[in-house]
Every structure is written in C-alpha cells, then in structure tokens.
Structure 1
Amino acid sequence: MSKAVIIGTGSCVPSRSLSNEDLEKMVETSDKWITTRTGIKTRHISGPDEQNYQLASKAAKRALEMAEVDPADIGLIVVATLSPHMIMPSTACFVQAEIGADNAFAYDLNAACAGFTYALDLARHYVQSQPGMKVLVIGSETLSTRVDWQDRNTCVLFGDGAGAAVVTGTEEDRGIIGSKLHSDGNHWDLLYMDSPESQNADLVKEDWQGSLIRMNGGDIFKHAVRNMDEAVKALLDRHRFSIDDLDLLIPHQANIRILRKLQERLKLPDEKVFVNLHKYGNTSAASIPIALDEANRQGMLHKGDLVALCTFGGGLTWGSLLLRW
C-alpha cells in the first residue's frame, strides 16, 4: 500500500511581535511571571492584511515551493482552525482562491489545538486510497481575535500564525506510519470558546460572555501531560518501537511546564524534543506545523528519522502521529 509522505513544509507569522514587556502595559503581569509559568517571551499578533486565510496562504505557498508542486496539482485543501476568517465560507475556500488551487476541494476542520494532527491523519487516508493525490494540510490561527485581553491568565498565552504541509503518496519505506487520536467531550468546559451571540431568543445562553477563549489551566495541565504521554507510548508500542528509537518529538507548544513534564515522563533528552514556544506562544492548530517547518528548515529532520507529533486541545482532543521522515 502507498504511504502518505510530507514533501514540503511552510510557515508564516504576523510581522508584529508582542513581548512580555508590552503585556505589562496592558494587564497586571510581568515578564518574570509569564516566563516562569509559561516559557513564553514573545508572540505574534496579526495586523492589516494578516487575516487567517492570508497567513494560511503564505504558509501554503512556501510549502508548495519547497515541494515543487503547482497549486493546480493540489486535490484537497484542509485548514485546521478554531479562529476562521468567517463562519461561512470556510477558510480553506479563501485559501483555495488566494493560491489558485482551482482543482482542489476545500474545507475546514476544528479540533482545537489538535487540529493539524487530525487533519494530517485525514490526509493520510485520502492519499492511501488515491496515491497520486496531493493534499495541502494547513493549521492556521488568529487567536488574537478570540482572546480576552483583560484576562491575564489567557491573553499572555496565545499568538497568531500558520503552518502547512504538502502530503502525497510514495512507495518508499517512509511516510506516516500511524496515529492514535482521542476525544472526550465530557470535559469540554475545561477549555472552550463560545459561539457568536444567538439571534434566536429561545437559544440565548444566560451566561454568554462573548466568543472568547476560556480555560481552567490547572486541570488542563494534568490532562495534557497524562494524555499526550499515554498517546505517544501507546503508538510506539503498537508499531513495535521503543522511546529510544525516536529521533525527534514535536509536541504542541502550549506551555513550557507541560512540555518539560511530558519530556520527563517520556525520558527524552533535550535534543530530541523540539521547542519554539518562547518565540510564538500557543498558536493552537498552527503550533505543530510551524514547529515542523522550523525543524525541517533548520536541518533537524533527516531522511529515515523516526518523528512523533503529539498534541492536546479543547474538546477535549488529543493524540499522536508517527512518521518516518
């Protein structure tokens, strides 16, 4: 059976950088407080002409350029996002028009911070059934549009950005090996964002406080560490690998304490865990593809490397994906 392989990556972040010192002027916080609790030093915030689909399109073009693939050859565009440009049409349709992928069908996927991993697994199944197909998988967010800038517990965490990957079939002994994806809707209220205010009086929520990100950080920490740890170990075990076989782990860049605790539980050295959280903050569905592109362009990924992605987000949604680079 043909395997799905990533042949190009790309990323894009807004030009404006918002530092911890900048946030000190906006809410009651400090660089020391933010750095100690999150590991974040800066995050990028969108400005004019940096809408979600525009960031996604720039990341997509860079991935296509690396892959040496013409936009007309793309058969499917999937954009993972929880902060779409519009509710309808999908951000993916805007990207299709922006890059000229006239032969693709396009849609969005919302699995919060786990979105890119979910979408990449989806692309794998399309490609396995249609080996010649080329799929553009994008994680793109403008979380600055959905953050409560008066809430110091959340506004310091999130940033905007986009990452993309071109996926196609290969007969080589590499590509996506497998995945282990999970959801648990029972804990939705630990991390959520309400919908726009209802225009149907019978469906108005009494406690509606705006379409903004709300989070219980302490409980999220516990679930994130435990679930990502178990997902990575179970996936490696399923495919008869040990943790020592892993060349690089690219986790969702949420919080440095989560990442270090996960690293401790997996017993991985620093050189096997990719971290760029300090530069971008939590960019949700864009987190892993931005990190993947940076690792790729920095020469940290070599042909034959065993690479694991692991993620956790609202829903709750989480999981891992294993691939041979």
Structure 2
Amino acid sequence: MTRRSVVIGAGHYLPERIVENAEFENWLDTSDEWIRSRSGIERRHFAAEGETTSNMATRAAEAALKMAGKTAEDVDAIVVATSTPDLTFPSAATMVQAQLGMTKGFAFDVQAVCAGFVYALTNANALIVSGQADRVLVIGAETFSKIMDWTDRSTCVLFGDGAGALLLEAQDGTGENRDRGILATDLNSDGRHKDLLYVDGGVSTQTTGHLRMQGNQVFRHAVEKLASTANTALAKAGLGAQDIDWIVPHQANIRIIQGTAKKLDLPMEQVVVTVQDHGNTSAASIPLAMSVGVARGQIKRGDLVVTEAIGGGLAWGAVVLRW
C-alpha cells in the first residue's frame, strides 16, 4: 500500500467589496476595455478596512472543513501560502490555528509569491507521505491590495484579495496513478530573475514598498515554464497531457492561461478559469479556483487535475492529483 494525500474538502472566501474595472477610470488613464483586452480581468475583490490575510484564510479553512465534515481538532497541521501576512511574525498560519480553535499540531507559512500554493501543497504532501501528519489544511491567502502602487496602471488593475483552502487526508492507495490524491509534484526557482517581479521594500530596509513588475518579461517566461513544469510532473506520475481532465492554473492573465493550454494541446473547455471575477490573487488563486470549480460542478471525484503557477523569484511548479 502507498500513503497518499487526498483532497477531502475545499473552500474559499472573497471580501464583500467588488471593484469593477470601470472604477479605476476615476483616477487612472485606463479603461475597462484596456484591462479586459490585456488580462481578461473584469473585476476583483478588495479586503475591507481591518480585514486581514489570516481572517480570510480562516474563513476559507472553515469552508473546507465544513465540506469535509471535519473540525479543527481533526487537523494535525496548517500550511499557509502568502506573501502578505498580517505581521512580520508570527506566521499567519499560527493565527489561523488560533482563530479555528485548534490547540494541537503545528502551523507555518510558505512564501513563494504566486507559486506559493503549489509549494505549500508539495510541503503538505511530504508531511503526509512521511507520516508527520494525517490531515493538513493547505491555504492560500493574500491581501495584495495593501501593496499596490495606485499610480501604476500596469500593475494595480491586475490584483485582488481572497483566500482558498484544501483539506488533505492520508489515505491508502495502490501506488499506481489511478489512485486518488497527489500523484506527483515539481518545483523550480531561478533567483537571477528577481527584478522581473518584486516588492521594493521589506523589513531589513524598513520600508513597506510596492509591487513592481516587468509584465512582458514575466509573460515570456510564464507560458514556457508553466507548460514545462506541468509536463514534468505528469511524466513523474507516468501520465501525459491526454490524461488530464482539468487544468487549474494560477489565475494571473487569460493570455498566459490560453498560451499554456495551447502548449499542452488542451482545449480551454478543460481549464478552470476564474481570473475574470477575481483578478490575480497570487497564492490564493489556485485553491480559490479549485473551490469554485468544485462548486460549479466542473471538478468531480476521480478527475485528474493539474495545477501550475509561476511567481516572483522567479519560482514555479506544478502538482498532479486525482480528485
């Protein structure tokens, strides 16, 4: 028998405030048509005053627990992927632990920007496969609206806030790729490309900073690297693109999503797309899209799902799992 990490619950949370593209026309030289044509984004959600990353992560976690029919006491570990924690320390994950009323186990954050959830999922899988934990909450949560430069029309219109969560449980499998659960992962990074996507501030510089991005360069790297990491993860599982039921990509830009699907020779009908309603929610975008995909009736038990993401670092990776 082979120990597998199986998804038993999914949930998400979005702030109440919805910001349509047209709202940016009030202070930026931009338009709804300009934003849609370049990104596919139509609207996004912004956190309310006092609404934090850990608050949203907790709401998403509660939804995932409810779907699974579990409570916080059934959870051994929490892994939160975020680049926008409430505080420098302690981790957002320990705050979620407290807000859920979880009094055992352990919790920690993972920071790999938009690739954060793929990294968190890979770490959670390792905890389960190694026997360190039987159930792990894996959460992506971001308040990117707090690090936007509202004078930069090339970036501030692209990002939004939100959270998504999966509950993973250890289950026995046969060791074959027909098993449910995580079948393969692939992680990569290349720090030489730091200047393509970063925040120009931090603790050691005693500044908050704003997000900076060379969009054209990020796009150039994204399609190639996303298709490559997806194929690598599939090969590790002994599978190919023809076996995929759904791609759940990082929701950054519809053109990147379309380009990656084309490279994998898959129709857009097999891609879960939420970027139009949420914008780029960084580490939250994949679990958010997974939860929405389940709610829509797209992702079903037994489906082969490939998820991939790229973010600042550059960091990128993919996970192959059978739902």
State the distance in 2 between where 1:196 and 1:128 align. Answer: 35
State the distance in 2 between where 1:161 and 1:11 align. Answer: 8
With over 3 angstroms needed to count, the CA separation of the structure-2 counterparts of 1:14 and 1:227, relative to structure 1, is same
| Alignment map for 1:80-91 (pairs within 5 Å) | 80-91=81-92
State the distance in 1 between where 2:73 and 2:203 align. Answer: 39
Aligned residues: 317
| Alignment map for 1:42-57 (pairs within 5 Å) | 42-57=43-58
Query: CA offset at residue 280 of structure 1?
Result: 0.4
Partner of 1:186: 192
The residue matched to 1:188 in structure 2 has which SS? helix
The residue matched to 2:85 in structure 1 has which SS? coil
1:17 aligned onto 2:18: yes
Partner of 1:115: 116
The residue matched to 1:189 in structure 2 has which SS? helix
The residue matched to 2:123 in structure 1 has which SS? helix
| Alignment map for 1:1-325 (pairs within 5 Å) | 1-130=2-131, 133-172=134-173, 173-196=179-202, 198=204, 210-325=208-323
What letter corresponds to residue 260 of structure 1 in structure 2? Answer: Q
With normalisation by structure 1, the TM-score equals 0.94
State the distance in 1 between where 2:64 and 2:90 align. Answer: 23
State the distance in 1 between where 2:125 and 2:237 align. Answer: 17
The residue matched to 2:221 in structure 1 has which SS? helix
What letter corresponds to residue 261 of structure 1 in structure 2? Answer: G
What letter corresponds to residue 46 of structure 2 in structure 1? Answer: I
* Structure 1 runs, 4 residues or longer, greater than 2 Å off: 194-198, 237-240
The residue matched to 2:107 in structure 1 has which SS? strand
What letter corresponds to residue 194 of structure 2 in structure 1? Answer: W
- Unaligned runs of 5+ residues in structure 1 are 199-203
The residue matched to 2:230 in structure 1 has which SS? helix
Query: CA offset at residue 131 of structure 1?
Result: 7.5
- Unaligned runs of 5+ residues in structure 2 are 174-178
Contact 1:246 1:306 in 2 (8 A): yes
State the distance in 2 between where 1:157 and 1:267 align. Answer: 27
Query: CA offset at residue 257 of structure 1?
Result: 1.1
Query: CA offset at residue 258 of structure 1?
Result: 0.8
Query: CA offset at residue 49 of structure 1?
Result: 4.4
Query: CA offset at residue 26 of structure 1?
Result: 2.3
The residue matched to 1:211 in structure 2 has which SS? coil
Partner of 1:201: none
| More divergent stretch after superposition (266-275 vs 284-293) | 266-275
Query: CA offset at residue 154 of structure 1?
Result: 0.3
The residue matched to 1:171 in structure 2 has which SS? strand
The residue matched to 1:227 in structure 2 has which SS? helix
State the distance in 1 between where 2:280 and 2:88 align. Answer: 22
State the distance in 1 between where 2:94 and 2:301 align. Answer: 33
Post-superposition Cα deviations, 1:196-235, rounded to whole Å, max 9, x if no partner, equal: 364xxxxx59xx7x51110000100011111001111122
What letter corresponds to residue 200 of structure 2 in structure 1? Answer: D
State the distance in 2 between where 1:251 and 1:11 align. Answer: 16
Partner of 2:176: none
Query: CA offset at residue 102 of structure 1?
Result: 1.1
State the distance in 1 between where 2:169 and 2:127 align. Answer: 9
What letter corresponds to residue 166 of structure 1 in structure 2? Answer: L
Aligned Cα RMSD in Å?
A: 1.4
State the distance in 2 between where 1:140 and 1:69 align. Answer: 21
State the distance in 1 between where 2:33 and 2:41 align. Answer: 10
Query: CA offset at residue 239 of structure 1?
Result: 2.4
Identity %: 44
Contact 1:250 1:307 in 2 (8 A): yes
| More divergent stretch after superposition (303-312 vs 279-288) | 303-312
Query: CA offset at residue 48 of structure 1?
Result: 3.2
State the distance in 1 between where 2:111 and 2:64 align. Answer: 21
Post-superposition Cα deviations, 1:27-52, rounded to whole Å, max 9, x if no partner, equal: 11000100000100000001134211
The residue matched to 1:2 in structure 2 has which SS? strand
| More divergent stretch after superposition (122-131 vs 110-119) | 122-131
With normalisation by structure 2, the TM-score equals 0.95
Post-superposition Cα deviations, 1:83-109, rounded to whole Å, max 9, x if no partner, equal: 111111111111111111111311111
The residue matched to 1:153 in structure 2 has which SS? coil
Contact 2:128 2:135 in 1 (8 A): yes
State the distance in 2 between where 1:230 and 1:132 align. Answer: 31
Query: CA offset at residue 296 of structure 1?
Result: 1.2
State the distance in 1 between where 2:100 and 2:302 align. Answer: 31
